[in-house]
Each structure stands twice: as C-alpha cells, then as structure tokens.
Amino acid sequence: MVPGFERLIESRIREAQRKGEFDNLHGAGEPLDIEDLGRVPEDLRLSYKMLKNAGYAPPEIQLKKDIKKTEDLLGFLTDESEKYRAIKKLNFLIMKLNISRGSSVDYEMSQLYYERLVENSE
C-alpha cells in the first residue's frame, strides 16, 4: 500500500465511527456470511451461487442432511419394524455417501455403527 494511505483510511474510518455512520447498518451484530468458493472451479462459481440461492444443495450435502434426519427419527421410534426400516435406510444413505466420496465401504465399521444405533434406540 502507498505510505500514509493506511493512516488516511484509518482516520476516515474513525471519523465515520465518531459520526455514527456505522450505527444501525443492515445486519449489524450478525455473523458475516463468508462463502469459500476456493474448491469450486472459477468457471462454475456463478452457476454454483445461482443454484445455492435457489435452495439447491449439492448431493453430498443433501445426503448428510438425510442421514441426520434419519438418525434423529430413530431416537423417537418405538415400533421395532419401523426402527428396522429406518436403520436399513440409514445404512443405505451412509453407503451411498461413502460411494459418492469414492471411499471404500467398511463393512466392519458399518456393523459396529449398526450395533450402536440399535443399542441407543432401545
């Protein structure tokens, strides 16, 4: 930066603060919504933002939401056949997520996860 330019900027900011020009701004006190698009190729960023603003979630994010929703549902189910169906659905969603990530499906971990879910839901 040009020498002295920072001081000029700082003095203007302090003056604006003193005058109250930053008071009652829209979104004051709320966290900033900083979006990291570093992993999205530059030529796809506009499309990505348009889809996001339209409420579309990428498949992996939607799968994670569905997994969480199914896990939450399991905590409330009392009927054994409903629990079984929910656990089957959960296992399917987890397997689908693992496949979409390109990771191998670890059946031993899936079995351990299944056993813990059954224990917690009883």
Amino acid at site 63: L
Q: Is residue 69 part of a domain?
A: yes
Predicted confidence (pLDDT) per residue in 59-85, tens digit? 788 888 899 999 999 889 899 999 999
Q: Is residue 66 part of a domain?
A: yes
**Which one-letter DSSP state was computed for residue 31?**
P
Q: Is residue 41 part of a domain?
A: no
Q: How many domains in the chain?
A: 1
Residue 64 belongs to what domain range? Answer: 59-121
pTM, entire model: 0.47
Considering Cα of 114, then 116, then 121, then 122, what sign does the dihedral take?
positive
CA distances from 67 to 25, 96, 110 (A): 38, 10, 14
Q: Is residue 85 part of a domain?
A: yes
